[in-house]
Amino acid sequence: MSGKLLQVNDIRVSYGHAEILHGISFGMDAGSIVTVIGANGAGKTTLLNAIMGVVPCSGTVLYQGRPAPRSVEGRVSAGMCLVPERRELFATMSVEDNLELGGFLRRAADRKETLGEVYQRFPRLAERRRQLAGTLSGGERQMLALGRALMSRPRLLLLDEPSLGLAPKIVAEILTIVSELRSSGVSILLVEQNARAALEIADEGHLVELGEIRRSGPAAELAVDPALMASYLGGE
Ligand code: ATP
């Protein structure tokens, strides 16, 4: 039995005959930000999908010391929530309706309270509550995707490339919000290609290459690792 919020052991995923993840194992403590970094196609998204139960995998996913519920809905009810890379918003629905959908498993009164909290955290979404999601800017869309995830009151957020396609200033804003979420008690598993930005806010990091973890360690150490710097942190 582990005291970890999340513990994955020997996760393997295959698409057809091709094995994409070759036995990934790591744990994360409650209240931490753990980042998984790596190049395009390394298997980062596949890893998040396996942990969330969106794609089948072998190995074990322990959540709060017990096997995670089988279904995705079960995992959401237990406090796990995935924010996918494509954000997957409903473009022709309003900001508020998108947020409401994020809380669909919860009672109406609880949902209303959380909606107020989300608007407090993201005043820009409050201003645009009647605007169609498809007309939001990239940064606002990412805020909406995060806000929608918060509507389920997650304990563990799985974030897939929140910085994707955003200008550096907006990336910094989004990652600051992610840090604040940790302070409010949400644990975060953050998949990022923007390794430098991710390591800045994370406690621990794992480098995935070709479906395997190649390096693990405290984020502050990985951020100054010469080999990692050359390959993933833009040199210097
Ligand atoms: P990126 O940073 O580009 O999003 P990633 O590290 O998240 O990459 P994955 O999206 O997990 O990588 O993809 C890992 C590998 O699995 C890639 O070679 C990809 O083409 C392959 N793959 C992903 N989904 C499928 C699928 N549904 N069917 C077949 N192959 C897939």
For the residues 8-16, what does the mean pLDDT come to?
96
Q: Could you tell me the residue ranges of all domains in the chain?
A: 1-79+158-236, 92-153
Reported as a single tens digit per residue, the pLDDT across 166-206 is: 888 888 888 998 998 898 889 999 999 889 899 999 999 99
Q: Is the pLDDT of residue 28 over 90?
A: yes
Query: What separation in Å is there between the alpha carbon of 90 and the centre of ligand 1?
Result: 24
Reported as a single tens digit per residue, the pLDDT across 122-149 is: 999 999 999 999 999 988 999 999 999 9
* Residues whose CB falls within 8 Å of the CB of residue 68, separated by 6 or more in sequence, listed in order: 51, 53, 61, 62, 74, 75, 78, 80
Ligand 1, residue 193: give the atom nearest the CA: 2
* Residues whose CB falls within 8 Å of the CB of residue 40, separated by 6 or more in sequence, listed in order: 193
Q: Is 45 in the pocket of ligand 1 (CB under 6 A)?
A: yes
Q: Is the pLDDT of residue 20 over 60?
A: yes
* DSSP helix/strand/coil, 67: strand
When the candidates are 3.90.190.20, 3.30.70.1730, 3.90.870.10, 3.40.50.300, the CATH number that belongs to 1-79+158-236 is 3.40.50.300
Q: With beta carbons less than 8 A apart as the criterion, state whether 216 and 202 touch.
A: no
Ligand 1: which of 11, 17, 20 to mutate, most ligand atoms within 8 Å of CB?
20
**Nearest Cα residue to atom 9 of ligand 1:** 43
Tell whether the torsion through CA atoms of 75, 210, 228 and 59 is positive or negative. Answer: positive
Q: With beta carbons less than 8 A apart as the criterion, state whether 8 and 26 touch.
A: yes
Q: Is 154 in the pocket of ligand 1 (CB under 6 A)?
A: no
Query: What separation in Å is there between the alpha carbon of 46 and the centre of ligand 1?
Result: 6
10, 15, 125, 190 from 47: Cα distances, Å? 11, 13, 30, 11
Task: Name the nearest CA neighbour of 121 among 82, 176, 172.
Answer: 176
Task: Count CA within 13 A, CB hemisphere, residue 58.
Answer: 8
Task: Count CA within 13 A, CB hemisphere, residue 230.
Answer: 2
Q: With beta carbons less than 8 A apart as the criterion, state whether 143 and 124 touch.
A: yes
Q: With beta carbons less than 8 A apart as the criterion, state whether 118 and 151 touch.
A: yes
Amino acid symbol at 222: L
Assign 2 a pLDDT band (cuts: 50, 70, 90).
low
Query: What separation in Å is there between the alpha carbon of 17 and the centre of ligand 1?
Result: 14
Ligand 1: which of 11, 15, 194 to mutate, most ligand atoms within 8 Å of CB?
15
Q: Is 211 in the pocket of ligand 1 (CB under 6 A)?
A: no
Q: What is the pLDDT of residue 84?
A: 86
Lateral strand order in the sheet of 18-28: 18-28, 6-15, 58-63, 66-67
Q: Is 7 in the pocket of ligand 1 (CB under 6 A)?
A: no
* DSSP helix/strand/coil, 6: strand
